[in-house]
Amino acid sequence: MTINHLVVACLLLLLTICPSVTYAQKETAETRRYAIEVAGAQVGTLTATRKIQPDGQWFYTLISDVKVNFLIYKLKIYYKVDNLVRQGQLMRSTVETHTNRGDYVSRTEWKGDHYDIVAQQYKHDLTTTERALIDYTITDLYFTEPTHHKRAYAEYFGDFSAISRTPKGSYLAARRDGRADEYTYENGQLVKVIKKNPLKNFVIRLLPAGK
């Protein structure tokens, strides 16, 4: 084979490989949509998305939009989580909450040898540091069943929730105040969450594809 033929062959090989690589990168984006219910009625939606960045880092977004109006019980919450993950480690998290009771924010950021954590939410104020690497969060629960995890970092609270498996196969994510949310999976996919609330529990159900 001459040098010219070799160059042409190499160019053809690149042209056949590169589109495949570009397509694979696009396919790494995942979006899952859920309905949020209270007492059987849909009151909002939740959308969980993760996407790989050009530099190989993962960007996770969790958006919840809820409006409840039951007689004397009125609640409006827009909740957004943005997580940046590098090689399995949480590097930065921002939680913005907009409610009819005010606006709040929580931030977690890796500083090289520790995390700076500031969580300022409704009736919850925490400023602290954490030296242990965070490799699993509440947002991760929407994409990965916690088969081998004993705790998940709760970005909203700036603290960890203990994870345990129930006899029926679901998982409880328990906070320090004793309240525990329940996560149910089917074939490794999160299909239902029961979030405990003093007045009414919120049920989050996976919507069929295309909904």
Q: Give the containing element (helix H, strand E) for 14.
A: helix 3-27
Find the domain containing 197 and state its range: 30-206
User: Residue 78 domain-assigned?
Assistant: yes
User: Residue 8 domain-assigned?
Assistant: no
For residues 150 and 168, the answer to whether their CB atoms sit within 8 Å is no
User: Residue 103 domain-assigned?
Assistant: yes
The total number of structural domains in the chain stands at: 1
Instruction: Specify burial of residue 167 (Cβ count, 10 A radius: 0-12, 13-18, 19+).
Output: exposed
30/20 Cα distance (integer angstroms): 18
User: Residue 12 domain-assigned?
Assistant: no
Output the tens digit of pLDDT for each of the chain's 211 residues: 544 443 334 333 333 333 333 334 454 789 999 999 998 999 999 999 999 998 899 999 999 999 988 767 788 999 999 999 999 999 999 999 999 989 999 999 999 999 999 999 998 999 999 999 999 999 999 999 999 999 999 999 999 999 999 999 999 999 988 889 999 999 999 999 999 887 789 999 999 987 6
How far is CA 197 from each of CA 56, 92, 99, 172, 203, rounded to the nearest angstrom? Answer: 38, 28, 16, 15, 10
